[in-house]
Amino acid sequence: MTEKWKDEAWAQDIWYSGKVTRRKLVGYGAGAIGAMMLVPAPWRAAFGAAKPYKIGSEQPLSGPGAIGGKTAVVGLQMSADRINANGGINGRPVQLVLVDDESKPDVGRRKSQKLVEEDDIDVHVGGFLSNICLACMPVWQEAKIVNMITVCLDTTLTTTHCNRYTFRLHDYAPAQAVAFGPLLAKMGKKWHIAYADYAWGQATRDAYAEEIKKNGGEVVGMTGIPLGTPDMTPFLSKISGNFDGLFSIFFGKDGVTIINQAYDLGLSKKYKMAGDGSITEPTNLPAQGSKVDGFVAINRYIPIFQGPLDTPYNKKFVEDAKKRLIAVDPSGPAPDKYVQSNYEALNAMKIAMEKAKFEGRKDTDKLIGALEGLEVKLGYDFPQGDKTLRKADHQAFLTEMIFEVRNGGYKLLEAVPKDKTLVPPACKFTA
């Protein structure tokens, strides 16, 4: 039964006639190998001729951080797909190896170790929560793997805790504070700072307190509220007195809580409200409703087509991101800074890997050399704009957007060029 096909006329010539000789087999085989060598690079990569680069990424895909982690991965995947569609890096495709840190530092550290030892990644592009980034930095340093941070904002990552393997292509609080300081001084002289009481919130608080003072203002009080406090009212009730503005530093669901509860207690009517742009990410706006109207904030990226963001590159980026975001969020949000920075970080890594002719971990030193001082330009790879990755501390400087939230959207007030956000480096690299 199974051999019947061999009797068919069409099969006689190729198989059953006994005409497949050893000479023919060698000839056809050599022809096939030669043909494969001649096909263009993208096809070689697609057919698996090239070993993929393993890009490890530790992200919070569950737990409280998942609110941003889910969108962060969208940016990373967008970049990886785009790189692979355009021939990969050095003719090799990229393969993302994602791990879920569950929004916990101990889990993050363990999973990072797994990326190094079991998955054998070439580079790491990721990190969302600052306390997890800080916990994982020694892992990348010990393994001598380049770590491109994509979201973590804690100042010390590129200052007191810096190391030569870690880079940050996005902004940090001191640069934002330098950019925002002059406008805050115009808004009011006396400020009270309410902040998320953990690594990032404390570092950001210090940066703003310093800039407010430098611009002739005064910080009359500070209220640190633990992460994930569902009812902030007992702590916000204490905020009173004679001052002009309440500056808030929170992110994720805490950003919604502070806006809603400060409004409910009448603080938003009594004081000018300003703060870190993480409070007003697109994923938070629906839950804040009209209570956030008039809030002035700073962020590296907001999904608008105004000022320096009114470019075909940003329009394409927003359009592509929206198509993907709807798969992780049925409400179809616009891309936030987490999508943007993950997208751009991997694109920057591609440029550096090509420049360094990076083949694997053995070339880490060459890759560090290529990343140090890297300049990237506005385009489809970098829709947010130009960036400079400073050699002295591996910290990037970029345009900052100061905006007001109104009617569920953003109105750009000022775009501060990257040169006006510079702060002196405060990092000493060790081995």
- 383 lines the binding site for other proteins (CB under 8 A): no
Name which position in 81, 119, 197, 293 contacts other proteins (CB under 8 A): 197
Q: Closest distance between other proteins and the C-beta of residue 316, in Å?
A: 23
* Contact flag: residue 234 with other proteins (CB under 8 A): yes
- Is-contact 404 392, C-beta < 8 A? no
Contacts of 400 (CB under 8 A, 6+ apart): 171, 175, 176, 179, 180, 298, 299, 300, 415, 416, 418, 421
CB of 78 to other proteins, least distance (A): 16
The reply to whether 342 sits near other proteins by the rule CB under 8 A is no
Establish if 407 lies at the interface with other proteins (CB under 8 A).
no
Contact 191, 205 (CB under 8 A): no
Q: Which residue in this structure is represented by tokens 């992780």?
A: 328
CB of 372 to other proteins, least distance (A): 34
Binding of other proteins by 233 (CB under 8 A) = yes
CB of 286 to other proteins, least distance (A): 6
If one asks whether residue 408 binds other proteins (CB under 8 A), the answer comes out as no
Which ranges of 5-119 would DSSP assign to H, the alpha helix? 9-11, 22-38, 41-46, 66-85, 105-117
How far apart (Å, rounded) are the C-alpha atoms in residues 39 and 34?
Answer: 9
User: Judged by CB under 8 A, which of 161, 213, 253, 272 binds other proteins?
Assistant: 253
What is the footprint of other proteins within residues 34-63 (CB under 8 A)? 62-63
Size of interface with other proteins, in residues (CB under 8 A): 45
Residue selected from 87, 182, 221, 224 as contacting other proteins according to rule CB under 8 A? 224
**Residue in 49, 220, 287, 426 binding other proteins, rule: CB under 8 A:** 287
Closer to other proteins at the Cβ: 235 or 380? Answer: 235
Would you say 71 and 328 are in contact if contact means Cβ atoms under 8 Å apart?
Answer: yes
Binding of residue 235 to other proteins (CB under 8 A): yes
Identify the DSSP state of 416: E
Q: How far is 282 from 201, CA to CA, in rounded Å?
A: 20
Neighbours of 77 (CB within 10 A): 18
Residue 261 interacting with other proteins (CB under 8 A): yes
User: Counting contacts by CB under 8 A, is residue 225 touching other proteins?
Assistant: yes
| Binding segment toward other proteins, per CB under 8 A, in 68-76, 80-88, 151-159, 389-397 | 68-76
The answer to whether 257 contacts other proteins (rule: CB under 8 A) is yes
Please give, one letter per residue, the 3-state secondary structure of 122-156: CEEEECCCHHHHHHHHHHHHHHCCCEEECCCCCHH
**Site for other proteins (CB under 8 A): which residue of 216, 228, 373, 408?**
228
The nearer residue to other proteins, 204 or 288, going by C-beta atoms, is 288
Q: Which residue has the tokens 């805790």?
A: 161
Interface mask (CB under 8 A) for other proteins, residues 145-184, using x and -? ----------------------------------------
- Cα-Cα-Cα-Cα dihedral of 392, 394, 398, 402, to 10°? -100
Query: What is the end-to-end Cα distance of the chain in Å, rounded?
Result: 71
Residues forming contacts to other proteins in the complex (CB under 8 A) are: 62-64, 66-71, 197, 223-226, 228-231, 233-235, 237-238, 240, 253, 256-257, 260-261, 264-266, 269, 282-284, 286-289, 328-331, 333
